[in-house]
Structure 1
Amino acid sequence: MEFGAGIILINNNNEVLLLLRDDKPEIPYPNQWDIPGGRIEDGETPDVTIRREMLEELGLKSLSDFRLFKIYTSDNLTDFIFWKRINLNPNEILLTEGQSLKYFSFDEIQKTKLAFNYNKVIEEFFEEVIKNE
């Protein structure tokens, strides 16, 4: 069983920040859009993983006030999905992983195949969190 953690970063226009994965055949879902995150390393808690990954991938120092949305479990993966409202300028972020960052509206996400079946996660997030805010 593997453990992962991802975060839905959503701006005040209800757009989700997605990362275009590297186009390397050796990684899962190359060249597909994804929510930021990664594998939980030995000894880490899911929230520590999110802070580490956001620093490593996006250069975001001391990310705080994010909340757990849901824990998804499949045969080989337990995935902790967090979320945070944050207005970032993707053009000002120096990516260290992935090809680019872009905010997507919910409609755009529905027309885009996301890595790791995250379309379902985003759909549930909008249904359960955004509609009830």
Structure 2
Amino acid sequence: MDEGTNIVMVNPVGQVLLHQRDDKPTISFPGHWCLPGGYLEPGERPHECIRREIEEEMGVVLDPAAVRPLCSRRRSYGVEHTFWTAIDLDLSEVVLTEGQGLRWFTRQEAAARRLGYEDNAILAEFFGLRDRGAL
């Protein structure tokens, strides 16, 4: 079974960062917006994986102490370890090595779009926890 990670990155005004996947028919959810992330390499821990993926795909080095666990769930595509972090990131300074683009979305904009994987459910859970003061 596949095992991967993703991350909810939230800027100071409460927007979440979404990544537009490449538009290749050979990948899952081509062209869809989704949370940034990727699959674990052999022997890698989820917390290491998400930081590596973000550095490889965006050139952004995340502070390990600022990357917090949100949930780990069995999803339709495998096991997903989801993290979250608060970050003030200027997207004009990010050089993507994978995907078509990055964009900050409001909660409402993200909810109104059919995201890749099960990312709509993940964001609903994140915002629900945040609304209750659990994050």
Normalised TM-score (structure 1): 0.95
Correspondences of 1:1-133 after superposition (within 5 Å): 1-64=1-64, 65-74=66-75, 76-132=77-133
| Deviation sequence 1:7-62 (CA, Å, 0-9, x none) | 11001111000000000000000000011110011100001101110111110125
| Deviation sequence 1:67-112 (CA, Å, 0-9, x none) | 0000111355110000000010111100000001000000001111
**Cα drift, residue 63 of structure 1:** 3.4
State the Cα RMSD in Å. 1.3
Q: What is the letter of the counterpart of residue 14 of structure 1? A: G
Kept in 2: contact 1:54–1:63 (CA 8 A): no
**Cα drift, residue 2 of structure 1:** 1.0
Helix, strand or coil at the partner of 1:14: coil
Helix, strand or coil at the partner of 2:71: strand
**Cα drift, residue 130 of structure 1:** 4.4
Q: What is the letter of the counterpart of residue 68 of structure 1? A: P
Kept in 2: contact 1:23–1:30 (CA 8 A): yes
How many aligned positions are there? Answer: 133
In the alignment, the residues of structure 1 paired with residue 111 and residue 99 of structure 2 have an alpha-carbon distance, to the nearest angstrom, of 21
**Percentage of pairs with the same residue:** 36
In the alignment, the residues of structure 1 paired with residue 6 and residue 110 of structure 2 have an alpha-carbon distance, to the nearest angstrom, of 16
Kept in 1: contact 2:75–2:118 (CA 8 A): no
Kept in 1: contact 2:9–2:84 (CA 8 A): yes
In the alignment, the residues of structure 2 paired with residue 91 and residue 131 of structure 1 have an alpha-carbon distance, to the nearest angstrom, of 33
In the alignment, the residues of structure 2 paired with residue 16 and residue 62 of structure 1 have an alpha-carbon distance, to the nearest angstrom, of 16
In the alignment, the residues of structure 2 paired with residue 131 and residue 14 of structure 1 have an alpha-carbon distance, to the nearest angstrom, of 15
Normalised TM-score (structure 2): 0.93
Q: What is the letter of the counterpart of residue 115 of structure 2? A: L
* Superposition misfits of 4+ residues, deviation over 6 angstroms: none
Structure 2: segments with no counterpart, 5+ residues: none
